Amino acid sequence: MLGEDAGREGLLKTPERVAKAMQFLTKGYHEDPEAVLRSAMFQEEDYKQMVIVRDIDFFSLCEHHMLPFFGKATCLYSPRNILRLSKIPRVVDIFARRLQIQERMTMQIKDCIQRTLDPLGVMVVIEAQHMCMQMRGVEKQNSLTTTSDFTGFFQQAKTREEFMNLIKHNR
């Protein structure tokens, strides 16, 4: 009987645990990604080559089914200003911690970096697995979705190709 009572008590706490989980999983609505970037800029450096921050793990919730999607983001920018590198993953997390679709998240990260840092160009690539495709619907457990978006000199095919080769060959 004691075990049964403990099980019921655990169930009674489920709504509270779900509410706390949802607050954590959607905390990105209460954070300002541009402020995060602005707080970490160094203008005294003059570096104009590519900076790549890759394999940034993230977890998000699909806004259509509220099921998780997760994967890795790669962000590339050519700075006018140097940035503390830990801030790029923070920006990814802020946008991931909202109800999302992968395409919008890709654009939001790119737009935030472009607006805040005003670099010569930005490129964001996200690869993710979606539980809404793996657990229900088409039930394809090995499917992977890739999205990308870019600005500035990454609009040139040659520059994008160089970037894609850099991330492909270094895996």
Catalytic residues: 62-65, 102, 130, 132
φ, ψ at 58 (rounded to 5°):
-150, 160
Strand 121-130 versus strand 68-78 pairing type: antiparallel
How far is it, in rounded angstroms, from Cα 164 to Cα 159? Answer: 9
Q: Which residues pair with 76 in a beta bridge?
A: 52, 123
Contact predicate 110/125, CB 8 Å: no
| Residue 62: HSE in the Cβ half-sphere, 13 Å Cα cutoff | 16
Q: Which residues pair with 60 in a beta bridge?
A: 69
State the burial class of residue 101 (Cβ atoms within 10 Å of its Cβ: 0-12, 13-18, 19+). middle
